[in-house]
Structure 1
Amino acid sequence: MPVQEKPTAPKTYSQEEAFKASVEYFKGDDLAARVWVNKYALKDSFGNIYELTPNDMHRRIAKEIARIEQRYPNPMTEDEVFDLIRDFKYIVPQGSPMAGIGNPYQIASLSNCFVIGNEGDSDSYGGIMKIDQEQVQLMKRRGGVGHDLSHIRPKGSPVKNSALTSTGIVPFMERYSNSTREVAQDGRRGALMLSVSINHPDAEDFIDAKMEQGKVTGANVSVRIDDAFMKAVKDNGTYTQKYPIHSKDPVNVKDIEAEKLWKKIVHNAWQSAEPGILFWDTVINESVPDCYADLGYKTVSTNPCGEIPLCPYDSCRLLAINLFSYVEEPFTENASFNYDLFKKHIAAAQRIMDDIIDLELEKIDGILAKIDADPENLDIKGVERNLWLNIRKKAQEGRRTGIGITAEGDMLAGLGLKYGSKEGVDFSVDIHKQVALEAYRGSVNTAKERGAFSIFDSDREKENPFIQRLREADEKLYYDMLEYGRRNIALLTIAPTGTTSLMTQTTSGIEPVFLPVYKRRRKVNPNDKDVRVDFVDEVGDSWEEYVVFHHRFKEWMKAKGHDTTKNYTQEELDKLVKSSPYYQATSNDVDWLSKVKMQGAVQKWVDHSISVTINLPNDASEELVGQLYLEAWQAGCKGVTVYRDGSRSGVLISNEEKKEEEKEEGNAVFPTKRPQVLKADVVRFQNNKDKWIAFIGLIDDRPYEIFTGFADDEDGILIPRWVNEGLIIKNRNEDGTSRYDFQYQNKRGYKTTIEGLSHKFNPEFWNYAKLISSTLRHGMSIEKVVDLIASLQLDTESINTWKNGVARALKRYIADGTVARKEKCNNCNSTSLIYQEGCLTCKDCGSSKCG
């Protein structure tokens, strides 16, 4: 009798082996390699890694997709699927599908996002606690969750328990937020969206809830705003709030001044980037699934980043198409877009998405089997079990998919089109129109072979604006859909691509490039050789700074014959950027109004929604934020997020963290004796008709002293407009008194010195500047210095305009580049964060809450 051989154990790799191989795979991009190894390489709960490079992952995914394909006619082979997804080139499954498909070591969902809720809008404590438990159960399976709070009765309403009256919405916001913070998966914290209708009497409390420091830090919040409210804002009219919000016979009615509440929304968004806004009538009227609202598909909230509006217990899986890969001969005179290949791949992507739903149903069966096998009493695990049964029903019945894109900014640059220009917007809109047509065509063709989603009814959909748009664009597609149905209830989104775009090495989602060139820090260890120390942080760690080129900017450099290995000066880098298609097309350059209009135009061809951020400079006004919100509504956007540079400073940190950080900013940070030479920034500002200039001495990029006064006239300091930095040098006069000189380098390379800053300005300005410099040198937080300046009671108009300008100049340093310097990456503690698509992403380690 032959001896049976033991099955060979799968090969494992160390973290170092996988990282080294992946760095080679990504052609030296250690950030992309680190993200892949940490987040997506197949591993078990003991940390054993079973994949060496992303090619192993792509083969794992292709094998599983091909297995599902065999169930249906005309199946794709494993190699055909592999060629579509390999190297992150064309079709890129996102987040949960990438990590979970074919993963035997993790019992988790393949859905990226869920919405939950109670039938009958129950606001009993039992119903509220049930939502809390369901939220936790989903987050432990790697899902982001959203739910709406409009069913909870307003504060002060009578209740039949010992409290006698309701506490309202806010305490439950805090409960759900805390639950989110307690759940983590593989270092990835849960993500939560809480929403409420503007129609609810507690809407103002909801809008204010996150403004109190340390409150509701585990959730994003958005307000569902209807057209009636927006019209009342435009007409300066009143608006009626009521509870229940859709009741014809409400028990609670309150008339409010719409503009007053609107200004509060705008102010809070200006100050803290929240609340986001959901234009709810647009969401519902455009929603194809809401044609089936009476069958359980009434949209009630969105996922955490707002791009998937969902009904209770529905979920969605996400996939991105890498748009840059369809640009042939990019950055050349012959650049063109390969529409034929693009359309072919959209159809394949929609088919793959439908296969992933079958894989998700298998995953849910695995989760249910795990729940059934658990020794817990059914009373304890009943909520979790029913949750997954409800999710399974929706996935099987509606078969919702989420095809999106990434690399929009690089696609346009590769074609020589400027992001935000009329030509760029027109091209983008056409691309998204083609995505919609080919995805819907793919869903109809899949329905021919596999059958339509079970509740498809063309009569229900015939008046839907999105379906009508498809009919107008392609009548054959529309009539085929009437004949064969459609495989999926809804198909499209533009989601954040977060860490995915680090691996595609492109711009993220629909966003423009953040920066074509930027600096990154690498920690220097004591035994490291051939490194330099450019920065020492407050705890004594040393860091080396180095220039990083955006990958496709580097490709442009090569196409134009520029040396990509040269150590460029800042002036040379500026010239390079200026001559590239990325010039004035970064997230901070793009005209805000044109970006909003672009979002509205693209939204017409996306049946779900779009995750995009409007980035504003720190000194943007509240009026501008309100204008952009209003324009977004009029343009047809379903939602909008505005982020003002540095606006999250001091809002999203706890009191304990703030106390600790204020200690770090104490005397120990700065030398007790003023160094002779300080690096300095030159900041110009204008108030009313007065032009001012500030020379700000810096230590570790933080203000240490300030000299200010009039600029560009006979009473002020005359220096060229292009001078924005230099040195402040402490010297001595002949009589032994101190003076402070400013030195800069002119365009011929010679040093020019302005002697005695303290004597160049009006003595009144100088005396106040000494006061401000003293507080800065003794480590007072910049926020408190700004508050101190604002509180000064000054007599003359000119000194008051000076006061306002100084405060504005110092506020620039509350933010460290693009994000408040106090907001740090949860993963690596870096402050090199950027805000895109409603999400913070770390430039140093790639960590993002958006997958």
Structure 2
Amino acid sequence: MKANLTKNLPKTFTQDEAFNAALKYFKNDDLAARVWLNKYALKDSEGNIYELTPNDMHRRIAKEIARVETKYANPLSEDDIFNLIKDFKYIVPQGSPMAGIGNPFQIASLSNCFVIGNSGDSDSYGGIMKIDQEQVQLMKRRGGVGHDLSHIRPKGSGVKNSALTSTGIVPFMERYSNSTREVAQDGRRGALMLSVSINHPDSEDFINAKLEQGKVTGANVSVRIDDQFMKAVKNGTEYTQKYPIFSDNPKVAKTIEANSLWKKIVHNAWKSAEPGILFWDTIINESVPDCYADLGYKTVSTNPCGEIPLCPYDSCRLLAINLFSYVENPFTKEASFNFDLFKKHVAFAQRIMDDIIDLELEKIDNILKKIDADPELDEVKSIERNLWINIKRKAEEGRRTGVGITAEGDMLAALGIKYGSEDGNAFSLEVHKTIAIEAYRASVHLAKDRGVFAIFDAEREKNNPFIQRLKEADSKLYYEMLEYGRRNIALLTIAPTGTTSLMTQTTSGIEPVFMPVYKRRRKVNPNDKDVRVDFVDEVGDSWEEYVVFHHRFKQWMEVNGIDVSKNFSQAELDELVKKSPYYQATSNDVDWLSKVSMQGAIQKWVDHSISVTINLPNDVSEELVGELYLKAWEVGCKGVTVYRDGSRSGVLISNEETKEETEDKLTAFPVKRPQVLEADVVRFQNNKEKWIAFIGLIDDKPYEVFTGLSDDEDGILIPRWVNRGLIIKNRNDDGTSRYDFQYKNKRGYKTTIEGLSHKFNPEFWNYAKLFSSTLRHGMPIDKIVDLINSLQLDTESINTWKNGVARALKRYVEDGTKAKGQKCDNCKSQNLIYQEGCLTCKDCGSSKCG
């Protein structure tokens, strides 16, 4: 009997089995294999793994979508769908759909993003608390959430409770932010967008909130800016803020100099990459769902990355089309884009997205069953239950989809077109115009077979600018839509595709390539045959230097007969890049104004919005940021974000603090980790093993630590002379973070080691997070060293590692600090002090550095 039960259980795989199979699948791309295994491979809460490679996942997804297809006429088969999604080649469900479709081990939503809000713009305490609970309930089901704060009355307004006056927006920003930080979803934090209208009298407080240390660290913030404000900025005139916003009979009104507030927005964005800007009139005027605003589809905010503006309780699921795969004969003179196949696949992508809505409705039913079965009182469960009923209603009624793209940069390079050039912008525009037309055509055809979305009304939409562009571009499509209706209220987006692009092994989303090539080293045994030794370090270890290529840059080399296994010098690599279609087309090379213009042109063919970042060098002026923002508004962007290199490093302090006050205070680290930290590289030996530590610094004080073996195949291999660099916190599209180390070689060429947290033993990583937490909360270094030394851990290896961490941190203890509770090994005196990281006895002079 036991044998029969075992036989019926699904087959599981060990971590090593699945990783090695995934590594082979991704052709030895370690990072892609780990991302897939950690984020998307089917596993239960006990860590059992049920999928060996991504094609197992693709088969799982195809099976579920095919099941939905059988409900409708002319269904696609499982193999039809599998062949579209396998190998991440053509169509890639993103994030939550990839992880959740056919997953029996999670009761979670398939939606990537939600927006919530109170009907009637209620700003009562009860309404504010209701939103707080709703965002937590959504985040625990794996969703990113956005909501707007413009309904909250400004600071100092009268209220009929014991407080007598309102506290304004900022305290509630902190409440929502803190709730987000508390929620863990599949090992990651919640993701939140907070927005407010520039017309709100507290908008300046909102804009400044994140500059103060430790404030609003769990949310992205964006300002909703209307055309009237932008015209006032351009013309140097005044602007009137109101509460309620844009009211004809406001309770509060104040007139401000538009340019003064504008400069504050620009300065803060230049300094810290926030707030983002949402050009709200453009969003509303272009929005097809806002044709149904009186029926509950008034757009109020966006998801955390800004690419999906939504009405309250609506949600969206995301899917990316891999543009690179439609380039035939890539990187040759015969390269061409297969528009016929592309059009066909855009239609399939829209159809699959519509199927995923049905799967989401099933998931919501399961969530509701789970809520009903929970033992809490009905009054406790009521907010959560009503939340999901509202979300289900919007999903059923509007059937919103999020068809997008990835690999824009690689597509252009494969065609021999420079990203950011006039030709590049023109070709990208043609591609996105094609997506818009064919996705809408597919939605019309789906309406014929499956029915229209419940509130479709062609009369409401007839003057919408986006619909008018479709009519002008393809009158046949427009008149078919009048006759048959449409299946989906809105269809398109361009989202960031962090983990998706790792698995497609392409550039991310609409962005250009970040870096086409960099170098690494690996340790070799010089006695092995056919081994190449490029470098021998000071202790006699031999190393082979090898080049890591961006996948499609490597493909360009192969197509052009360049030996990818050759040991290239830096000069040769530089020359290679110059010959390639990626030359002067990286994220740091692209002309900023050209990129803004490209975004504005493409935005006209995307009915939702576009997530794109304008990357700027550290030395750009605030004036340039202001020019880019103004240009973005003028060319029709719906939103824009700039990131100035290094702008999130350092400690931000409150504007109100004077210099003298700051100097008198104990320096505190920010609760939110800056994106970029200076870092020391510390090497040490433990029991003849070579170890390495990366110590992230703020004001030359330790803030975090990453450590592990430096000389095994899975370790960190960097030149011995590197002792300083940057630890950069990068974010994936599903909200997860990774930490990359970047240094410059002797020629100034940047090299990046991706994913420090993936390079070390997970056991070490968990303890490193503990020690980093004590560092970040300002615990004195010598006390942390004492804490580490006092730990009694389970295994010899972890104790060896523990001792190494203590040694790495000792060097940061201020000279002269007394070491309490320790005795000199020589004279037994307790008069010990730290000196250059060593314990020195003041009585006998002996020193111990171990």
TM-score bracket for the superposition, by shorter chain length: 0.7 to 0.9
1:548-591 superposed Cα distances (whole Å, 9 cap, x missing partner): 21000000000111111122111111110010000000000000
Q: Is the 8 A contact 1:212 1:651 kept in 2?
A: no
Q: Which residue of structure 1 lines up, in the alignment, with residue 206 of structure 2?
A: 206
Quote the Cα distance in structure 1 between the aligned partners of 2:523 and 2:197: 47
Q: Which residue of structure 2 lines up, in the alignment, with residue 843 of structure 1?
A: 754
Q: Which residue of structure 1 lines up, in the alignment, with residue 510 of structure 2?
A: 510
1:93-126 superposed Cα distances (whole Å, 9 cap, x missing partner): 0000000000000000000000000011111111
1:170-191 superposed Cα distances (whole Å, 9 cap, x missing partner): 1111111111111112222111
Q: Is the 8 A contact 2:650 2:699 kept in 1?
A: no
1:241-640 → structure 2 map (5 Å cutoff): 241-519=241-519, 547-640=547-640
- Displacement of 1:781: 3.7
Quote the Cα distance in structure 2 between the aligned partners of 1:658 and 1:544: 41
Q: Which residue of structure 1 lines up, in the alignment, with residue 668 of structure 2?
A: 655
Quote the Cα distance in structure 2 between the aligned partners of 1:172 and 1:531: 61
- Displacement of 1:6: 7.9
User: What secondary structure sits across from 2:589 in the alignment?
Assistant: coil
1:64-116 superposed Cα distances (whole Å, 9 cap, x missing partner): 00000000000000000000000000000000000000000000000000000
User: What secondary structure sits across from 2:615 in the alignment?
Assistant: strand
Quote the Cα distance in structure 1 between the aligned partners of 2:757 and 2:409: 19
- Displacement of 1:819: 7.2
Q: What residue identity is the alignment partner of 1:140?
A: K
- Displacement of 1:533: 13
Q: Which residue of structure 1 lines up, in the alignment, with residue 726 of structure 2?
A: 816
Q: Is the 8 A contact 2:739 2:756 kept in 1?
A: no
- Displacement of 1:521: 8.5
Q: Is the 8 A contact 1:154 1:169 kept in 2?
A: yes
Q: Is the 8 A contact 2:273 2:648 kept in 1?
A: yes
User: What secondary structure sits across from 1:145 in the alignment?
Assistant: strand
Q: Is the 8 A contact 2:728 2:739 kept in 1?
A: no
Q: Which residue of structure 1 lines up, in the alignment, with residue 229 of structure 2?
A: 229
Q: Which residue of structure 1 lines up, in the alignment, with residue 128 of structure 2?
A: 128
Structure 1, 583-592 or 185-194: larger mean CA deviation: 185-194
- Which ranges in structure 2 are unaligned for 5 or more consecutive residues? 654-666, 685-692, 703-722, 744-751, 759-850
User: What secondary structure sits across from 2:132 in the alignment?
Assistant: helix
Q: What residue identity is the alignment partner of 1:60?
A: R
Q: 1:658 to 1:299 in 2, by over 3 A?
A: closer
- Displacement of 1:830: 3.8
Quote the Cα distance in structure 2 between the aligned partners of 1:354 and 1:138: 22
Q: What residue identity is the alignment partner of 2:370?
A: K
Quote the Cα distance in structure 1 between the aligned partners of 2:323 and 2:680: 51
Q: Is the 8 A contact 1:100 1:110 kept in 2?
A: yes
Quote the Cα distance in structure 1 between the aligned partners of 2:543 and 2:485: 59
Q: Is the 8 A contact 1:224 1:280 kept in 2?
A: yes
Q: 1:826 to 1:335 in 2, by over 3 A?
A: closer
Quote the Cα distance in structure 2 between the aligned partners of 1:843 and 1:285: 41
Quote the Cα distance in structure 2 between the aligned partners of 1:298 and 1:264: 29
User: What secondary structure sits across from 2:386 in the alignment?
Assistant: helix
Q: Which residue of structure 1 lines up, in the alignment, with residue 52 of structure 2?
A: 52
Q: What residue identity is the alignment partner of 1:655?
A: A
Quote the Cα distance in structure 1 between the aligned partners of 2:520 and 2:193: 31
1:728-739 → structure 2 map (5 Å cutoff): none
Quote the Cα distance in structure 2 between the aligned partners of 1:37 and 1:337: 32
Q: What residue identity is the alignment partner of 2:754?
A: K
Q: What residue identity is the alignment partner of 1:283?
A: I
Q: 1:780 to 1:428 in 2, by over 3 A?
A: closer
Q: Is the 8 A contact 2:546 2:567 kept in 1?
A: no
- Displacement of 1:486: 0.1
TM-score (normalised: structure 2): 0.77
User: What secondary structure sits across from 1:655 in the alignment?
Assistant: coil
Q: Is the 8 A contact 1:89 1:325 kept in 2?
A: yes
Q: Is the 8 A contact 2:399 2:489 kept in 1?
A: yes
User: What secondary structure sits across from 2:565 in the alignment?
Assistant: coil
Q: Is the 8 A contact 1:521 1:844 kept in 2?
A: no
Q: Is the 8 A contact 1:520 1:844 kept in 2?
A: no
1:726-756 superposed Cα distances (whole Å, 9 cap, x missing partner): xxxxxxxxxxxxxxxxxxxxxxxxxxxxxxx
Structure 1, 242-251 or 621-630: larger mean CA deviation: 242-251
Quote the Cα distance in structure 2 between the aligned partners of 1:148 and 1:273: 20
TM-score (normalised: structure 1): 0.77
Q: Which residue of structure 2 lines up, in the alignment, with residue 104 of structure 1?
A: 104
Quote the Cα distance in structure 1 between the aligned partners of 2:599 and 2:380: 45
RMSD of equivalent CA atoms: 3.3
User: What secondary structure sits across from 2:150 in the alignment?
Assistant: coil
Q: Is the 8 A contact 1:31 1:845 kept in 2?
A: no
- Displacement of 1:449: 0.2
1:766-816 superposed Cα distances (whole Å, 9 cap, x missing partner): xxxxxxxxxx9xx96499xxxxxxxxxxxxxxxxxxxxxxxxxxxxx9983
Q: Is the 8 A contact 1:646 1:814 kept in 2?
A: no
Q: Is the 8 A contact 1:197 1:224 kept in 2?
A: yes
Q: Is the 8 A contact 2:336 2:415 kept in 1?
A: yes
Q: What residue identity is the alignment partner of 1:617?
A: P
Quote the Cα distance in structure 2 between the aligned partners of 1:457 and 1:67: 30
Quote the Cα distance in structure 2 between the aligned partners of 1:288 and 1:425: 25
Q: Is the 8 A contact 1:195 1:223 kept in 2?
A: yes
Quote the Cα distance in structure 2 between the aligned partners of 1:623 and 1:36: 42
Quote the Cα distance in structure 2 between the aligned partners of 1:846 and 1:552: 26
Q: Is the 8 A contact 2:222 2:275 kept in 1?
A: yes
- Displacement of 1:522: 8.6
Q: Is the 8 A contact 2:728 2:741 kept in 1?
A: no
User: What secondary structure sits across from 2:207 in the alignment?
Assistant: helix
Quote the Cα distance in structure 2 between the aligned partners of 1:829 and 1:550: 19
1:286-337 superposed Cα distances (whole Å, 9 cap, x missing partner): 0000000000000000000000000000000000000000000000010000
Quote the Cα distance in structure 2 between the aligned partners of 1:151 and 1:110: 29
Quote the Cα distance in structure 1 between the aligned partners of 2:9 and 2:264: 61
Q: What residue identity is the alignment partner of 1:816?
A: L
Q: Which residue of structure 2 lines up, in the alignment, with residue 742 of structure 1?
A: none
Q: What residue identity is the alignment partner of 1:359?
A: L
- Displacement of 1:545: 8.2
Q: Is the 8 A contact 2:291 2:460 kept in 1?
A: yes
User: What secondary structure sits across from 1:640 in the alignment?
Assistant: strand
Quote the Cα distance in structure 2 between the aligned partners of 1:154 and 1:300: 18
User: What secondary structure sits across from 2:8 in the alignment?
Assistant: coil
Quote the Cα distance in structure 2 between the aligned partners of 1:659 and 1:313: 29
User: What secondary structure sits across from 1:614 in the alignment?
Assistant: strand
Q: Which residue of structure 2 lines up, in the alignment, with residue 724 of structure 1?
A: none
1:384-428 superposed Cα distances (whole Å, 9 cap, x missing partner): 000000000000000000000000000000000000100010000
Identity %: 76
Q: What residue identity is the alignment partner of 2:456?
A: F
Q: 1:28 to 1:659 in 2, by over 3 A?
A: closer
Q: 1:819 to 1:100 in 2, by over 3 A?
A: closer
Quote the Cα distance in structure 1 between the aligned partners of 2:434 and 2:411: 15
1:511-565 superposed Cα distances (whole Å, 9 cap, x missing partner): 00011013468999xxxx99999999xxxxx999853210000000001111111
Q: Is the 8 A contact 2:739 2:757 kept in 1?
A: no
